[in-house]
Amino acid sequence: MSVPTQKPVRKLSMKQRYSALTHDLDWPLSYVEEDDAFPYTKFEGIKVHDWSKWEDPFRLTVESYNKYQAEKDRRLYAVLDGFAQSQGQLSLSDASYMNAMKIFLQGIPSGEYQAHRNFAHLARYLNGPGARFASLCQSMDELRHAQTEIHTLSHYNKFFGGMHDWNKMSDRVWYLSVPKSFFDDAGTAGPFEWLIAIGFSFEYLLTNLLFVPFMSGAAFNGDLPTMTFGFSAQSDESRHMTLGLEGIKFMLEQDEDNLPIVQAWLDKWFWRGYRLISLVAGMMDYMLPKRVMSWKEAFELYFEEQMLNGLFKDLAYYGIKPPRDVEWAIQEKEILSHQVYWILYQFSHAAAFTTTVPNAQDQAWLAEAYPETWPIYKSVVWDKAQKVMDEGGRYFNPGLPQLCQVCQIPMGFTEPGDPMTQCQRHSIYEGERYDTCSDGCKWIFEREPEKYVQAWLPVHQIYQGNCGGPTLPDVAVWYGLEPGDGGEYVGSMDQLDWAAWHASTVKEG
Amino acid sequence: MPVVAISEYKFPSKSRQELYGDDQLVHVWWKGNPWFVAAGCFRFPKAMPWGDFVGVLKGFYTADPDFVPDSLDSVQWVIDDQEVTPDPSASMEANGVGHKSLVQFSV
Amino acid sequence: MSVEAEPRMVGVDLQENEENRAIVEAVEADNEDLTVRHMPGLIRLTKPGRLVINQASVEQRLGRPWETHEFQLAIVSYFGEIVEWDDDEIVIAWKH
C-alpha cells in the first residue's frame, strides 16, 4: 500500500494571512445597493474609486491583535498591582505632580471613549474591508485606553483630591469643555473628516506632543502606572498614526478633487488639535516637579522636525501644504505654556486641581528653558502673585472669563509678537457677535458658523442659570467639586496629607 | 460656507440674547494688563446706567493690588472698536453696548 | 524630480526595557548613521532616509524566535511611514 504523498502544510506569509482574514472575508452585496449599506461615505464630497487600495501596513489579523493586546494588558496590570502593593504613591516626586494627572484623568478617558464610539461607527460604515478592520482595531484600542487610564488613576483617587467625579466633571467643568467640544466637533462630522481630524491631525501630527514627553515625565516623577499605561496606549498609537496616514494618502490618491477638501480639514483640525493640547504645554512646563523637556523643545522635536521637515515634504507630492496657521503656532511656542498656566492659576478656585507660584527651583528651570520670555512673565505677573501670597492673600480672578467660541479656552492668548496684548477676534453671524482667540479659531468659526453657534460655552451657561445656580459655590457643587479639590496648592489637603505621610514614614523608620 | 451635512443643518445660537431676558452679556477688557488673563464676561441689564456699570468695575478690578479705582474716571472707553465718551446717566444700551459687546480701556 | 541634499530623518521611539535592548542592538548593527537618544523610560532611534528592523538580527540577539508582530510591544511612536512590515523585516522610510 502506498502512502499518499502529503504536501507539507505551508504556513501563509503575513501578507497572505492578512489578505485572507480581512479582504477575503468581504463579499459583494447582492440584494442591497452599496449606497444603502454605506450611506455616509458620499455626502462629504470625497470621491473613492477603489476601496481595495486601502492598505494596512501592520497587516493585523484578529488572532494577532488579540494576542498582542492581551500581552500589553498583562504587562500593564502587573505594574499597577506592584505599584499599589508597594504603596507607590509615596515615592512620587511630590504631591503637586498629581495636578497634571488630575487634568489628564478628568479630560482624557472621556475623549478616548468618544474615539472608541466613532471608530466603531467607521468600522461599520466604511465601504472597504481593510479600512473597516483597521477602524475596528482602533475602536477596541480606544476603549482599552479609557479603561486602563481609569484603572491606573483609581489607585491615586484613594489618596489625592480631584479625581472622584472625573466622569461628571468631564461633562460639566469649564476647562474640560475644551476636550469635550473638540471630540463633539469631530464626532458630528462625516467619517472622512473624522479620519483627518482624529486619525491624521490628532494621532499622527500631534499625539506625540501629548503622550511621549508627558509619559516620559511620568517616568521621571516616579509615576510608574501612568508611564506604563501611557507607553502601552502609545504602542497602539503607532497603529493609529498609520491608519491616519493611510487614510489621508488614500483620499489623496483616489481622486485629485479630494485635495482641496482634505487640505481644508487639515487646516481646521491642526488648529483645533493644537489649541486643545495647549493644556499640555501648561502641564509640562509648570506642573511637573521634575521636567524632561520643555513644551518648546517638544514642539520643535515632535512637530517642527518630524512633521514639518519630514511628513509635509512627503505630502507635498500630493499637493498638500502645511496647515494654514502653522506659523502662528511656531511663534507661540515661546509663550504658550506661560499663558495657559496663568489662566489655570487664576481660575483654579473653580477647578479640580490646584496651582501655585513656581518655586525657586521651577523658576530657575523656566529661566533656562525660556530665556527670552520667562523674565517678562516673572516680573509682570509672578512676582506680583508671590507678593499677594506673602501678604497672606491669594489671587484668584473674581469674575468669569470671555471664552473663545471655537476652542472654548479663556481668551488669554496674545497677538503675535506682543505678549501683553490679548488677541481679540470677532465675527458677526446673523446679527449676533461671536468671539475667537486667534486667526485660526476665527477662520474655523467663519467656515462653519452654523456649527459653532451651538457651542455650550461654560461661562454663558452659568449666566443662563444652567449650572446649579448664580454663585460660584452653587456652580462648584454642580461641577462635583469638593473642598480640597481646587485652589492654591500650598496648604491644600494634598500637600498636608503628603507631608503627614512622609513625616510618619520617617518616625517609623 | 454651509456645514456639509446629511440633512438640513440649522440650529439657533446657544447664547442668543433672548436667553438672558432683559439682560445681556458684556465683555470688559483691561487692555495691556495681563493680571487679568482674559477679558471678563458679565451679565448686566441692558438698562443699567453706564455710571453704575463703571461703579461695578471699580470694585471688580480691586483684585489687582495696583489698581486705582478713580483711574477709571479718566480712561478712553472703546466699545466694539469705536472710541466713545459714554453718558454716565444713560443706559449701557443707549451708550452703544450690545449683547456680547467688547468694552475696553487702558490705564 | 528634485534632488535633496540629504535624506530626511525617520525614527522610532521604543520603551526602554530588557527585551528591547536586543532590538536596539539589532537596529544599531543594521543601520548606519543611527542616532540613539535616551530619555526617561524611552529610547529614540533616528536615522536619515530609511530605518530597518531585521527579524534575523533581533532573533540572534534575543536567542529565541521573534516574530515581527512583537515589535508592537516595543514601539511607542515613530515618524516616517511604515513602508514594509513583513515576516522578515520592518522598514520605516518616507515614500516621496
Q: Scanning the structure block, which residue is given the C-alpha cell 517638544?
A: A298
Three cell numbers, residue A73: 494588558
A450 chain-B contacts, CB cut-off 8 A: 2-3, 9-11
Chain A closest CA to C28's CA: distance in Å? Answer: 21
Q: What is the pLDDT of residue A10?
A: 66
Task: Check CB contact under 8 Å for B98 and A435.
Answer: no
Q: What are phi and psi of A299, to 5 degrees?
A: -65, -40
Asked whether B and C share 3 or more beta-carbon pairs under 8 angstroms, the answer is no
Question: Residues A431-444: what's their mean pLDDT?
Answer: 98
- Which residues numbered 230-249 in A keep a CB inside 8 Å of some CB on C? 231, 234-235, 237-239, 241-242, 245
| Contact in structure between A265 and A194 (CB atoms under 8 Å) | no
Q: Which CATH superfamily is domain A43-508 in?
A: Ribonucleotide Reductase, subunit A (1.10.620.20)
* C1 pLDDT more than 50: no
Q: What is the pLDDT of residue A214?
A: 77
| Confidence band for A163, pLDDT divided at 50, 70 and 90 | very high
| Contact in structure between A440 and A275 (CB atoms under 8 Å) | yes
Chain A closest CA to B88's CA: distance in Å? Answer: 23
Q: What is the pLDDT of residue A58?
A: 82
| Confidence band for A192, pLDDT divided at 50, 70 and 90 | very high
* A359 pLDDT more than 70: yes
pLDDT digits (tens, 9 = 90+) for A373-410: 999 999 999 999 999 999 999 999 999 999 999 999 99
d(CA A104, CA A254): 38
Q: DSSP letter string over C6-29?
A: SPPEEEEEEE-SHHHHHHHHHHHH
For chain A, domain boundaries: 43-508
Task: Check CB contact under 8 Å for B34 and A400.
Answer: no
Task: Check CB contact under 8 Å for A450 and B2.
Answer: yes
For chain B, domain boundaries: 19-105
Q: What is the pLDDT of residue C48?
A: 94
Burial class (CB in 10 A: 0-12, 13-18, 19+), A503: exposed
d(CA B86, CA B51): 9
| Contact in structure between A285 and A99 (CB atoms under 8 Å) | no
Task: Check CB contact under 8 Å for C95 and A227.
Answer: no
With a CB cutoff of 8 Å and minimum separation 6, the contacts of A327 are none
Three cell numbers, residue B62: 480691586
**Is residue C27 in some structural domain?**
yes
Total domains present in chain C: 1
Domain with C21 in it: what CATH number? 3.90.56.10
State whether residue A219 sits within 8 Å of chain C by CB: yes
State whether residue A422 sits within 8 Å of chain B by CB: yes
| Confidence band for A153, pLDDT divided at 50, 70 and 90 | confident
Chain C closest CA to A13's CA: distance in Å? Answer: 7
Task: Check CB contact under 8 Å for C40 and A13.
Answer: no
State whether residue A57 sits within 8 Å of chain C by CB: yes
| DSSP tag of A86 | T
d(CA A115, CA A138): 9
d(CA A306, CA A317): 17
In terms of residue numbers, what domain contains C39?
9-93
Task: Check CB contact under 8 Å for B31 and A402.
Answer: no
Q: DSSP letter string over A110-163?
A: HHHHHHHHHHHHHHHH-SSHHHHHHHHHHHHHHHHHHHHHHHHHHHHHTTSSS-
Size of interface A-B (CB pairs under 8 A): 124
**Is residue C44 in some structural domain?**
yes
CATH topology of domain B19-105: Ubiquitin-like (UB roll) (3.10.20)
Three-state secondary-structure class, residue A10: coil
Question: Residues C68-91: what's their mean pLDDT?
Answer: 93
pLDDT digits (tens, 9 = 90+) for A88-103: 999 999 999 999 999 9
How many other C-beta atoms lie within 10 A of the C-beta of residue B81?
A: 9
* C5 pLDDT more than 80: no
The alpha carbon of A485 is separated from its chain's Cα centroid by a whole number of angstroms, namely 22
Q: What is the pLDDT of residue A98?
A: 95
Q: What are phi and psi of B68, to 5 degrees?
A: -110, 110
- Give this complex's ipTM: 0.98
Q: What are phi and psi of C14, to 5 degrees?
A: -120, 150
- Measured in Å, how far apart are chain C's first and last C-alpha atoms? 10
Question: Residues A49-55: what's their mean pLDDT?
Answer: 91
In terms of pLDDT, which residue wins out, A266 or A19? Answer: A266
**Is residue C36 in some structural domain?**
yes
Q: Residue A366, by phi and psi: left (phi above 0), alpha (psi -120 to 50) or beta?
A: alpha
Interface test with A, best of B4, B15, B31, B56 (most A CBs within 10 A): B15
- Which residues numbered 448-477 in A keep a CB inside 8 Å of some CB on B? 448, 450-451, 453-457, 459-460, 463-464
**Is residue C4 in some structural domain?**
no
